[in-house]
Structure 1
Amino acid sequence: MKIDLHGKTAIVTGSTSGIGYAIAKGLAQAGARVIVNGRAAARVEEALKKLRADVPGAEASGVAADLVTAEGVESLGSQVEDADILVNNLGIFEPKPFLEIPDSDWLRFFEANVLSGVRMSRRYLPKMLEKNWGRIVFISSESGLNTPAEMVHYGMTKTAQLAVSRGVAELTAGTGVTVNSVLPGPTRSEGVSEFFGKMAAEAGVSQPEMEARFIAEHRPTSLLRRLADVEEVANMVVYVCSPQASATNGAALRVDGGVVKFIA
């Protein structure tokens, strides 16, 4: 199978590092014109420089905008009026005991992880429907199915993304537009790696040992028995964005290493 996305424009939100950057890189390798996004202009420029080095000849540009806000979405939309592919990757996470999560954190997580994708999809879906071709992908999480006790507010937002994704997919019935979710399991992104590095230092063990402990204690159903690499997640996303995935719509596609013990 050869995925060819030449002539397609793809926006990947929150793509200066981690899973988002890996998705941007994968789409660029498939020939798409990629729009890299982050809050800070310096981080966006740094990511673009890396992308052009990783994918020689890549057609890429960047937009610095805080998509947690409606103003940020409007700013990006005014600079990129049309897109064939939208990957709603922007998200935040933070372990915190349920009884210590204030209302402000619930609202902050909902706006960052859910409303950013709602606003971006509302902005770009109409033209996709007009053209009768488009791909919208929400990067959810296995935590959307297995709510983690250590960060209930995060799990709530990832479940909400599944509902939004499926609901928006209903609007595409009979068209060439698809809307899907991809659910990574524990993945070694920069943020997650820093998190485990800090935990390892506090416990006086190596980072690989701390990662292994986490999988054994907190994700014991994992069949992979390790953290996934960001490229492993990106590969699924690139496929879902391709013409070859035209019959996949309204789906929640797991790249969770077998953590979720559901057949369907």
Structure 2
Amino acid sequence: MHIDLTGKTAIVTGSTRGIGYAIATGLARTGATVVITGRKQADVDSALASLRSQVPGAIVRGVAADLSGAAGFKVLKDAEPQADIVVNNVGIFALQPFEEIADEEWTRFFEINIMSGVRASRAYLPGMQAKNWGRIVFISSESGINIPADMIHYGFTKTGNLAISRGLAKSLAGTAITVNAVLPGPTLSEGVQDLVAPGGDIATAERVANEFVKEHRSSSIIQRVATPEEVANMVVYVCSTQASATTGAALRVDGGIVETFA
């Protein structure tokens, strides 16, 4: 299968590293014009330089904006008025006992993990409707189905992603605009590396993360963490023209952790 998104503009939120960066790289390889976002200009510039090195000839731009609130989306929309593809990837996670999660943390997780996707989708949907073509993807998580006891606030927001993506897909029935959610399992992003092996090298982080999967996600069929690129492959597919009959779906890249057929 050859995926060609030449002429399409894709915005990937939270894409200076990790899964978001891998998605941006994958989309750039298809010929799409890719817009990277991050909070700090230095991080955006670094990611752009890295992507251009990895994908010679890639058409990539960057916007520095804090997407934890509405003001950041005004910055993004002013800089990039139109998009054919929106990947709602920006998000946060943290291990925290339920009784220690303050109201402010619940609100912070809601604003970043849920409202960022709402705001980005709402901002760019009218342009997609005018063309009658578009792709919206929410990066959820297997934690949205298997709510982790030590990250209840995170799991709650990822379940919210599933509800919004399904409802938005239904609201666009009969159009050529698709909306889907992709559910990664444990993935060896930089954030996970920092969590499981702070200050360690990649090999150490991978070993510790794989041990975590075997002990705490024992239903995993692959018995290891995924790579950001493995998650990105699914996202690139659902952004493609070939995925025109895939919408309203929750597509798992969880290594088989979730014990359901659907």
Q: Tell me the TM-score range normalised by the shorter chain.
A: over 0.9
State the match for 1:191 in structure 2: 191
Report Cα offsets for 1:1-32 as digits up to 9, x if no partner.
10000000000000000000000000000000
State the match for 1:46 in structure 2: 46
Residue pair 2:93, 2:154 contacting (<8 A) in 1 also: yes
CA displacement at 1:196 relative to structure 2: 1.0
Matched, 1:140 2:140: yes
CA displacement at 1:130 relative to structure 2: 1.3
* SS of structure 2 residue aligned to 1:180: strand
Residue pair 2:181, 2:250 contacting (<8 A) in 1 also: yes
* SS of structure 1 residue aligned to 2:135: strand
Report Cα offsets for 1:38-73 as digits up to 9, x if no partner.
000010000000000000000000000011110000
Residue pair 2:27, 2:236 contacting (<8 A) in 1 also: yes
CA displacement at 1:198 relative to structure 2: 3.0
1:228 to 215, 220, 226: 226
State the match for 1:258 in structure 2: 256
Distance 1:131 1:200 in 2: 48
Residue pair 2:188, 2:206 contacting (<8 A) in 1 also: no
* SS of structure 2 residue aligned to 1:81: coil
Distance 2:6 2:105 in 1: 41
RMSD of aligned residue pairs (Cα, Å): 1.3
State the match for 1:22 in structure 2: 22
State the match for 2:167 in structure 1: 167
CA displacement at 1:138 relative to structure 2: 0.2
Matches within 5 A, 1:209-220: 209-220=207-218
Amino acid at match of 1:128: M
Higher mean C-alpha deviation, range 83-92 or range 190-199:
190-199
- In structure 2, stretches of 5+ residues that fail to align are none
Distance 1:125 1:182 in 2: 19
Residue pair 2:188, 2:209 contacting (<8 A) in 1 also: no
Structure 1 residues 199, 46: CA separation in 2 closer, same or farther (over 3 Å shift)? closer
Distance 1:133 1:212 in 2: 40
* SS of structure 2 residue aligned to 1:198: coil
Residue pair 2:206, 2:225 contacting (<8 A) in 1 also: no
Matches within 5 A, 1:31-180: 31-180=31-180
Residue pair 1:73, 1:119 contacting (<8 A) in 2 also: yes
| Number of equivalenced pairs | 260
Structure 1 residues 71, 145: CA separation in 2 closer, same or farther (over 3 Å shift)? same
* SS of structure 1 residue aligned to 2:197: helix
CA displacement at 1:199 relative to structure 2: 9.8
CA displacement at 1:89 relative to structure 2: 0.2
Distance 1:54 1:96 in 2: 37
Residue pair 1:199, 1:210 contacting (<8 A) in 2 also: no
Amino acid at match of 2:89: N
Amino acid at match of 1:240: V
Residue pair 1:200, 1:210 contacting (<8 A) in 2 also: no
Structure 1 residues 207, 11: CA separation in 2 closer, same or farther (over 3 Å shift)? closer
Report Cα offsets for 1:199-229 as digits up to 9, x if no partner.
989xxxx544422331122111100100000
Distance 2:18 2:220 in 1: 21
Higher mean C-alpha deviation, range 209-218 or range 99-108:
209-218
Amino acid at match of 1:8: K
Residue pair 2:9, 2:83 contacting (<8 A) in 1 also: yes
Residue pair 1:88, 1:117 contacting (<8 A) in 2 also: yes
Amino acid at match of 2:34: V
* SS of structure 2 residue aligned to 1:51: helix
